[in-house]
Structures are given as structure tokens and as C-alpha cells.
Homo-oligomer: A and B are copies of this chain.
């Protein structure tokens, strides 16, 4: 008999969930607005609703567990989420206990950092499935990261490993949201990348970007830059190449430290694809010590949000004892 699990992705805007069959993959998807300003009680209640709906869609007693990808810090036991950015008043919530109580049953529930969950999805279903070890980078509102080492999530001492977004590429660089100077998130985070571009468009009076945003540069997004780059716009290509250079630099530091040579890049900003990744590929070897330069690979993750839902469900399939991710 095929077994089922539910994967949940807690986003700042939407809560998404999917019913996943171990053999057949994603069966049903559903979502609700996060309404993050209403606080943790409300958000937890919304998650419970999504999960209950999907349990009803599965054959009775066939759902073996729930995996949840959450922003913020997740504790070592993978039960509790602390200080997720973008959700008001959320100090520390034991999601496992809260959901079990609300659902009225002791269904196994495993919580994991969302970037780690995306890496797990990629490891089982995406661009990471051909290698045992890779570094996952998610380029979105912020810059997230996860490490898959020998088919497991590398969690560090407390479950917080993989914070690539806060690695610095310039000890005197600009400050990202977290106050870390020169953190890569301060270059590649959506807001920072577009601000950098807005400051520089003055030198490109003929850029297509102006037309794409109908003159309102506040509307510029990485997507705009990608669209303009695709149309051959020199300004947009230069901005994305600038971002790719910084990405290659930080990935070089990560390769030096981990000796993991495959990198998978996902997340919304990665839609800009090779306009960012080719420059990153070009400079990466220059930021890696010669002994580790062979077989460097940067792949794009094309699964999109599915990677997170599949990865979250995989948490439940693999179970608590598997320490996550053993294939």
C-alpha cells in the first residue's frame, strides 16, 4: 500500500500544503493566506485547517505524518519555531504540540527550517538528486541556505547550519537586515538587489526597465531585471551579473569550508537564471583554493515551491529516527 504524508510551507504571505504519496509524489495542493499580522495563534489555526482538509482527502489512516518547513530558527528536536521573520508576535511556538492538540491526535509532526526543507526536496526530487552532498541556496526576499551532506541535512550544533545569506563578502560592506556587514543577503536579497539597481539606472537612460515598470522605479523587481535582460537590456544584464559575481564569491567561501562542490540555486530570484548563474560560475573557481577547484557545479533548481512541499513531506516519510534525508 502506498503511504501518504502532508507537507506544509509557512510563507510570509501564504501557507501552502500538499498531500504527497510516497510513490506518486504530489497529489493535492491547497493554500490559505498567512495573515501574519494576526499572530501565532491564528497562523497555527490556519495550518491546522489546511492539514485537516488534506487528511480528509487521503484514505483513512493512510497519512503517516506531517512535515513543516518554517522560516526562523527551529530547535534541535524539530518541534519548535522561534522568531520567524514576518510573523508578528511569534516568540517561540511548539508547532508539533500545538498541531497535535488542535488535530486531537498524535500524528508524527516534524518541523524544519524552510531552507533545509527546500534542500531536502531538491535532494529527493530536484537538481540535487544526482549527488550525495550539495549546498542549497535560495534567492528570494532574503537569501537562505541549506547543506545536504552524505544524503542528510547538515544541521550544525543546534539546527541552525546553512545560513549562507549571512556570510560576508566584504568586511566593510553594507548591512543586511540582520546587521551583519557585507552579508550576501545585503547584495542579493530582493530589496537590496533592486535598490542597487535603482541607484545605478541613472547611468542607463535608455534601459528597457523604465518601460517595464512604466516609469515607476519603485516597482522594479528581480523579475523586471530578468525580463529586461532577456530582451537584451544592457543595464539589467549588468545588474544581474553584479549579483552573480557576489554569489560566486560567497559560494567560493562555502566550498573552501565544506569541500562540497555542487551548488543548487533555487527561490524566486533564481528565475533570473543564467544571467546570475553564469557570472557566478565564471568567478567561483577564483574564490576557491586550487585543490578544490575540480568538478565545481552550479545548478538551478527548477522545482520551485514544489521542492518545499515535497521536502516537507519527505521529513514525515523519513521519520524522526532517520535524522532526515537518508535515501
Contact = CB atoms under 8 A, between A and B. Distances in A.
Contacts of A166: 252, 256, 288-289
Interface in A264-321: 286-292
A159 interface: yes
A127 to B, nearest CB: 17
A238 B252 CA distance: 30
A107 to B, nearest CB: 28
Contacts of A82: 291
Contacts of A259: 155-163
Contacts of A287: 168, 171, 180-181
Given A170-B169, A178-B290, A163 B257 contact: yes
Contacts of A257: 145, 147, 161-164, 167, 253-254, 257-258
Interface string A128-149: 0000110000000000010100
A104 interface: no
A281 to B, nearest CB: 16
A179 B256 contact: no
Given A72-B291, A158-B292, 13 more contacts: A147-B257, A157-B259, A161-B257, A163-B259, A163-B289, A163-B292, A164-B256, A164-B257, A168-B249, A171-B287, A183-B289, A253-B257, A257-B258
A169 B167 contact: no
A157 B249 contact: no
**Copies of this chain, count:** 2
Interface in A174-195: 178-183
A192 to B, nearest CB: 15
A323 to B, nearest CB: 11
A75 to B, nearest CB: 11
Interface string A64-105: 000000001100000000110000000000000000000000
Interface string A232-266: 00000000000001100100111011111100000
Contacts of A160: 259, 291-292
B291 A73 contact: yes
A305 to B, nearest CB: 24
A168 B292 contact: no
A257 B154 CA distance: 10
Q: Which 7 A-B pairs have the closest CB atoms?
A: A156-B259, A166-B289, A161-B259, A160-B259, A167-B253, A163-B256, A171-B249
Given A160-B291, A163-B292, A291-B83, A180 B252 contact: yes
